[in-house]
């Protein structure tokens, strides 16, 4: 087990180092001088040079990379060029929108997908199975941004149950959760559809396994065999998908955050890219990569908890 | 169900009633969020949209129609043949942090903007200043190196607002000005709040507080207005939805003009565009109304030169380049391109450019000019088109007010180099009497129109959607501003 965890940890660190180099390099080659962009078309060359110096862009690339990485290791993400505030502050404000939104969406997606998937598997070929699978086909096919617009049209413009967007802040938790509800549903339903399908097919695979047949032969009913033996074993592929989905929900809220004008990380990245606030882009992307890698690490460890064979291997 | 509805309605009435009696707060949406709150340190228009004449004020200011009126300077004398401006400042003005605004602050602001290490995006506005002298606390004298007929106009820009040395350090996140509203909070990415400045030196505004929200997606903008999440949307980004708001009694739609001359920029140094016949052909190939209808849903005024049609000095030069593909083809033949040629058309993000670009590409194809269209982000556009001049054609709206002077700069991205025009601009700068300036401006417009420097398309319109019952909003945008000092609700 320790060797397994250590191996995962080493791969985590290597992934982070590679990611930091790739992110920095990609952002380095994006066309468009940030200083010239910020000062606009009437700026004089000496003004642009003064701003470049102020932003530290006159230093060599290697030195800037080194400063960036060592800064991050000490928790210093640098200072936003456009907002002129520490990037860490920007991130810590925004993460309280994006993280709860991702968790909320994941929660919704899981509580929809698990019962739906298990029910469909247990009624394989029946009307319930066909209905659920039909609905999930639709869920997979519908893009979440389109679904989001439909939700706004129905619940914000026609019924007036929710506001069309924005985030009031956590001072009023009920209002905050309410304002995240439509975005969370928009994010969750397509994910739930995928998850339900994975849950169902994974369960069906398990139901064909020898150990289920053995359990049935020992006198367990179909339902008992399903709950006691199949569900737990079917969880491994489902966990993988959940891990991937969480990363997607955290980073992939960009479009949903635009539609609901939520001040989250996605919107921060979006604004920073178009404003060429490269230091913010670098740091936020790096943070997201870190979270994704960390989630994958957690999923790997969770595999080991679910599947004892992994603990002894390697 | 009936009961629930009744209760809900009763609750809604109970909640709304007190607000309806004394509605003195407003939520204004604009498309872009200001990157920071320092109008003297960046080019982003959104900074001015939120702060101009709400939080910050300059010596002079634009009124709703674009005229230059008194700001912190209540009057001024011009002497020494237009070289010395003596400004008499309003008395009893304080900054929002309680410190006094006096001549020292004016000197500080102007000296800071024109300093060597200044990062003022419009440093050119201050270029002619040789000296700023404090005469007494309420009098300040500005000396220029040569007469400048647009100096009072320059001082009205958002980049020339008066700031204080006491609060300059954190101005980007905590703006301290002299205006009728005091900055209270900025939740980055979401909203910015301001409240009435109770010790304002001028007429007190009717609104007690205002919230700005930033909604960039056109669909989200539509939803936010329809759901009445916002009271006003200035610069509404979806012109296709305007008829729907006009038909809805809950809303009013204000369509006004801006200072944005939208042009098909031509690289005048790049062959074959260095040939005036080719440029004339391009001008004749353009059907302006088709572009306005197709790209802007009919909102916009055709222009024949680089000048705002609502300006009293504007001359209608549309007759220099009426839409006529036959003439355009003939001009191309005479120029030596009977079969046309291929060039690049580089488009920045706004919809006028992206939608307009497709229409122009097809209009040019009619006369044999093939365009390779590429979509650029603003930062890329500034680098490739504006700085490196690596383009054949582009579409951009020049939103700075009174910017015909850019044609006198041969290094400006469209690279028009005409000594006659340059001399004319020097003469204009040195002319302060209105009649003389007017005549020179007419000549300037005519020269660039007859040289077909760029394809002149239309003056950009601005649409404001507001709830019925809001008064005093600016219809036009003489400068980027959402001036709330005169806005009120009628009951």
Per residue in B249-262, pLDDT tens? 999 999 999 999 99
Confidence (pLDDT) at B406: 93
Taking the C-alpha atoms of residue B327 and residue B318, their distance in angstroms, rounded to an integer, is 15
Q: Which residues contact A127 (CB under 8 A, 6 or more apart)?
A: none
Taking the C-alpha atoms of residue A39 and residue A213, their distance in angstroms, rounded to an integer, is 72
Q: Is B1 exposed, middle or buried (0-12, 13-18, 19+ CB in 10 A)?
A: exposed
Out of A32, A166, A261, the one facing B379 most closely (by C-beta) is: A32
Instruction: Mark yes or no for CB contact B43/A40 under 8 Å.
Output: yes
Residues of A in contact with B384 (CB under 8 A): 31
State pLDDT tens for residues A94-117. Answer: 889 999 999 999 999 999 999 999
Instruction: Mark yes or no for CB contact B36/A82 under 8 Å.
Output: yes
Tell me, yes or no, whether A110 and A234 share the same domain: yes
Smallest CA–CA distance, residue A47 to chain B, in Å, is 5
More confident residue, A91 or B56: B56
B464 contacts B235 by C-beta, under 8 angstroms: yes
State pLDDT tens for residues B395-419. Answer: 999 988 889 999 999 999 999 999 9
Confidence (pLDDT) at A160: 87
State pLDDT tens for residues A130-189. Answer: 999 999 999 888 888 889 989 998 998 888 888 888 888 888 899 999 999 999 999 999
Smallest CA–CA distance, residue A209 to chain B, in Å, is 50
Percentage of residues of chain A with pLDDT beyond 70: 98
Tell me which residue has tokens 């204009």: B428
- Per the domain annotation, does A6 fall within a domain? no
Taking the C-alpha atoms of residue A274 and residue B378, their distance in angstroms, rounded to an integer, is 7
Confidence (pLDDT) at B463: 94
B2: pLDDT strictly greater than 50: no
Average pLDDT over residues B410-435: 91
Instruction: Mark yes or no for CB contact A44/B123 under 8 Å.
Output: yes
Q: Where are the domains of chain B?
A: 25-32+174-257+462-489, 56-105+112-162, 259-461
ipTM higher than 0.85? no
Mutate to test the interface with A, among B190, B241, B413 (most CBs of A within 10 A): B190
Q: Which residues contact A18 (CB under 8 A, 6 or more apart)?
A: none
A301: pLDDT strictly greater than 60: yes
Torsion of CA B378, B382, B384, B389, to 10 degrees: 140
Instruction: Mark yes or no for CB contact B223/A34 under 8 Å.
Output: no
Instruction: Mark yes or no for CB contact B35/A43 under 8 Å.
Output: no
- Per the domain annotation, does A78 fall within a domain? no
B55 contacts B483 by C-beta, under 8 angstroms: no
Instruction: Mark yes or no for CB contact B379/A264 under 8 Å.
Output: no
Instruction: Mark yes or no for CB contact A42/B43 under 8 Å.
Output: yes
Taking the C-alpha atoms of residue B169 and residue B166, their distance in angstroms, rounded to an integer, is 8
Confidence (pLDDT) at B281: 96
Instruction: Mark yes or no for CB contact A83/B191 under 8 Å.
Output: no
Smallest CA–CA distance, residue B218 to chain A, in Å, is 9
Confidence (pLDDT) at B401: 85
Tell me, yes or no, whether A68 and A92 share the same domain: no
Determine contact: A267 vs chain B, CB below 8 A: yes
Smallest CA–CA distance, residue A271 to chain B, in Å, is 9
Tell me, yes or no, whether A21 and A59 share the same domain: yes
**Other C-beta atoms within 10 Å of A8: how many?**
18
Out of A42, A160, A263, the one facing B400 most closely (by C-beta) is: A42
What's the domain count of chain A? 2
Confidence of residue A310 (pLDDT cuts 50, 70, 90): low
Tell me, yes or no, whether A117 and A20 share the same domain: no
Q: Which of B217, B228, B235 is nearest to B251 (CA)?
A: B228
Tell me, yes or no, whether A64 and A95 share the same domain: no
Confidence (pLDDT) at B433: 83
Tell me, yes or no, whether A249 and A276 share the same domain: yes
- Domain B25-32+174-257+462-489, CATH 3.40.190.10 — does that match? yes
Mutate to test the interface with B, among A152, A164, A265 (most CBs of B within 10 A): A164
B13: pLDDT strictly greater than 50: no
Taking the C-alpha atoms of residue A9 and residue B75, their distance in angstroms, rounded to an integer, is 71
Which of residues A42, A73, A104 is at a domain's end?
A: A73
State pLDDT tens for residues B53-107. Answer: 999 999 999 998 888 999 999 999 998 788 999 999 999 999 999 999 999 999 9
Tell me, yes or no, whether A153 and A271 share the same domain: yes
- Per the domain annotation, does A67 fall within a domain? yes
A304: pLDDT strictly greater than 80: no
A71: pLDDT strictly greater than 50: yes
Mutate to test the interface with A, among B227, B388, B389 (most CBs of A within 10 A): B227
Out of B35, B44, B383, the one facing A31 most closely (by C-beta) is: B383
Average pLDDT over residues B275-293: 96
B16: pLDDT strictly greater than 70: no
Angular region, A78: left φ>0, alpha ψ -120 to 50, beta rest: left
Q: Is B52 exposed, middle or buried (0-12, 13-18, 19+ CB in 10 A)?
A: buried
Determine contact: A156 vs chain B, CB below 8 A: yes
Architecture of domain B56-105+112-162: Alpha-Beta Complex (3.90)
Confidence (pLDDT) at B188: 83
Percentage of residues of chain B with pLDDT beyond 90: 77
Instruction: Mark yes or no for CB contact B387/A36 under 8 Å.
Output: yes
Count of A-B CB contacts under 8 Å: 154
Confidence (pLDDT) at A311: 65
B11: pLDDT strictly greater than 70: no
Tell me which residue has tokens 């204004």: B28
- Chain mean position to CA B326: 36
Instruction: Mark yes or no for CB contact A93/B123 under 8 Å.
Output: no
Q: Which residues contact A175 (CB under 8 A, 6 or more apart)?
A: A168
Task: Tell me the residues of chain A between 23 and 62 that have a Cβ less than 8 Å away from chain B.
Answer: 30-34, 36-44, 46-47, 50-51, 54
Average pLDDT over residues B182-190: 90
Instruction: Mark yes or no for CB contact B223/A165 under 8 Å.
Output: yes
Tell me, yes or no, whether A99 and A224 share the same domain: yes
Tell me, yes or no, whether A58 and A92 share the same domain: no
A312: pLDDT strictly greater than 80: no
Average pLDDT over residues B270-293: 95
Residues of B in contact with A30 (CB under 8 A): 379
Range of the domain at A281: 87-311
Highest mean predicted confidence (pLDDT) among A123-127, B313-317, B375-379:
B313-317
Q: Which residues contact A277 (CB under 8 A, 6 or more apart)?
A: A34, A80, A81, A82, A83, A271, B35
Instruction: Mark yes or no for CB contact A271/B33 under 8 Å.
Output: yes
State pLDDT tens for residues B206-254. Answer: 999 999 999 988 888 999 999 999 999 999 998 889 999 999 999 999 9
For chain B, the average pLDDT equals 91
Residues of B in contact with A101 (CB under 8 A): none
B8: pLDDT strictly greater than 80: no
Q: Which residues contact B123 (CB under 8 A, 6 or more apart)?
A: A43, A44, A47, B113, B114
Instruction: Mark yes or no for CB contact B120/A166 under 8 Å.
Output: no
Least CA distance to B377: which residue of chain A?
Answer: A274
Instruction: Mark yes or no for CB contact B119/A90 under 8 Å.
Output: no
Tell me, yes or no, whether A91 and A168 share the same domain: yes
Tell me, yes or no, whether A117 and A202 share the same domain: yes
Tell me, yes or no, whether A66 and A98 share the same domain: no
Confidence (pLDDT) at B106: 96
Query: DSSP readout, A41-77?
Result: TT--HHHHHHHHHHHTTTS-HHHHHHHHHHHHHTT--
Confidence of residue B390 (pLDDT cuts 50, 70, 90): very high
Tell me which residue has tokens 């006529």: B324
Smallest CA–CA distance, residue B318 to chain A, in Å, is 27
Confidence (pLDDT) at B448: 96
Instruction: Mark yes or no for CB contact B223/A164 under 8 Å.
Output: yes
B1: pLDDT strictly greater than 50: no
CATH topology for the B259-461 domain: Dipeptide-binding Protein; domain 3 (3.10.105)
CATH code, domain with A217: 1.10.3720.10
- Per the domain annotation, does A2 fall within a domain? no
Confidence (pLDDT) at A46: 82
Smallest CA–CA distance, residue A138 to chain B, in Å, is 23
């Amino acid at each position: 087990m320790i060797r397994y965890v250590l191996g995962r940890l080493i791969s985590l660190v290597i992934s982070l180092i590679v990611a930091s180099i790739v992110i920095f390099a990609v952002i380095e080659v994006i066309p468009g001088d940030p200083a010239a962009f910020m000062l606009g078309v009437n700026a004089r060359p000496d003004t642009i040079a003064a701003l470049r110096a102020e932003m530290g862009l006159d230093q060599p690339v290697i030195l800037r990379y080194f400063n960036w990485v060592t800064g991050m290791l000490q928790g210093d993400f640098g200072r936003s060029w456009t907002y002129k505030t520490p990037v860490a502050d920007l991130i810590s404000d925004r993460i309280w929108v994006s993280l709860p939104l991702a968790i909320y969406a994941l929660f919704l997606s899981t509580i929809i997908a698990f019962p739906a998937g298990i029910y469909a598997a247990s009624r394989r070929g029946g009307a319930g199975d066909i209905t659920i699978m039909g609905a999930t086909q639709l869920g997979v096919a519908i893009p979440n941004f389109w679904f989001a617009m439909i939700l706004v049209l129905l619940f914000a413009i026609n019924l007036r149950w929710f506001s069309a967007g924005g985030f009031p802040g956590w001072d009023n938790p009920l209002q905050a959760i309410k304002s995240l509800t439509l975005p969370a549903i928009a994010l969750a339903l397509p994910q739930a559809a995928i998850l339900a399908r994975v849950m169902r097919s994974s369960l069906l695979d398990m139901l064909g396994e020898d150990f289920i047949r053995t359990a049935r032969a020992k006198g367990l009913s179909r339902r008992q065999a399903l709950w006691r033996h199949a569900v737990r074993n079917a969880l491994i592929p489902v966990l993988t998908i959940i891990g991937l989905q969480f990363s997607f929900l955290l980073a992939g809220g960009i479009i949903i955050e635009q539609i609901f004008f939520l001040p989250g990380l996605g919107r921060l990245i979006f604004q920073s890219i178009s404003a060429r606030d490269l230091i913010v882009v670098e740091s936020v992307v790096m943070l997201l990569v870190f979270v994704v890698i960390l989630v994958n690490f957690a999923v790997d460890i969770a595999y080991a908890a679910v599947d004892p064979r992994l603990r002894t291997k390697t | 169900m009936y009961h629930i509805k009744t209760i809900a309605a009763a609750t809604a009435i109970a909640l709304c009633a007190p607000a309806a009696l004394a509605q003195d707060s407003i939520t204004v949406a604009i498309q872009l969020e200001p990157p920071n709150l320092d109008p003297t340190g960046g080019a982003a228009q959104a900074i001015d949209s939120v702060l101009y004449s709400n939080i910050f004020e300059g010596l002079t200011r634009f009124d709703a129609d674009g005229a230059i009126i008194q700001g912190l300077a209540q009057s001024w004398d011009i002497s020494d043949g237009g070289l010395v401006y003596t400004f008499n400042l309003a008395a009893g003005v304080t900054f929002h942090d309680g410190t006094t605004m006096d001549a020292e602050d004016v000197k500080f602001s102007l000296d800071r903007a024109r300093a060597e290490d200044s990062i003022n995006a419009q440093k050119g506005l201050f270029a002619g200043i040789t000296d700023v002298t404090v005469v007494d606390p309420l009098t300040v004298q500005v000396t220029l190196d040569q007469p400048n007929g647009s100096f009072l106009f320059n001082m009205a820009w958002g980049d020339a607002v008066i700031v204080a040395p006491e609060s300059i350090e954190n101005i980007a996140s905590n703006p301290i000005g002299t205006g009728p509203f005091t900055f209270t909070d900025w939740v980055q990415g979401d909203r910015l709040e301001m409240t009435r400045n109770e010790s304002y030196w001028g007429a007190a505004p009717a609104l007690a507080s205002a919230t700005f929200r930033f909604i960039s997606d056109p669909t989200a903008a539509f939803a936010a207005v329809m759901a009445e999440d916002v009271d006003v949307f200035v610069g509404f980004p979806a012109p296709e939805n305007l008829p729907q708001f006009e038909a809805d009694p809950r809303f009013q739609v204000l369509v006004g003009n801006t200072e944005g001359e939208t042009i098909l920029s031509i690289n005048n140094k790049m062959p074959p565009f260095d040939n005036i016949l080719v440029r004339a052909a391009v001008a004749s190939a353009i059907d302006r109304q088709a572009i306005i209808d197709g790209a802007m849903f009919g909102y916009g005024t055709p222009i024949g030169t680089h000048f705002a049609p609502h300006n009293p000095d504007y001359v209608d030069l549309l007759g220099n380049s009426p839409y006529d593909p036959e003439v355009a083809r003939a001009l191309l033949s005479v120029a030596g391109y009977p079969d046309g040629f291929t060039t690049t058309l580089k488009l920045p993000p706004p919809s006028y450019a992206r939608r307009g670009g497709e229409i122009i590409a097809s209009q040019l194809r009619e006369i044999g000019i093939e365009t390779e269209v590429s979509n650029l982000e603003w930062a890329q556009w500034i680098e490739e088109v504006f700085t490196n001049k690596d383009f054949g054609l582009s579409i951009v709206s020049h939103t700075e007010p009174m910017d015909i002077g850019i044609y006198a700069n041969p290094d400006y991205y469209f690279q028009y180099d005409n000594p006659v025009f340059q001399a004319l601009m020097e003469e204009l700068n040195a002319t302060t009497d209105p009649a003389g300036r007017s005549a020179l401006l007419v000549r300037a417009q005519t020269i660039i129109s007859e040289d077909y420097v760029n394809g002149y398309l239309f003056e950009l319109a601005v649409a404001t959607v507001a709830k019925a019952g809001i008064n005093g909003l600016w219809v036009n945008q003489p400068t980027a501003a959402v001036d709330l000092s005169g806005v009120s609700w009628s009951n």
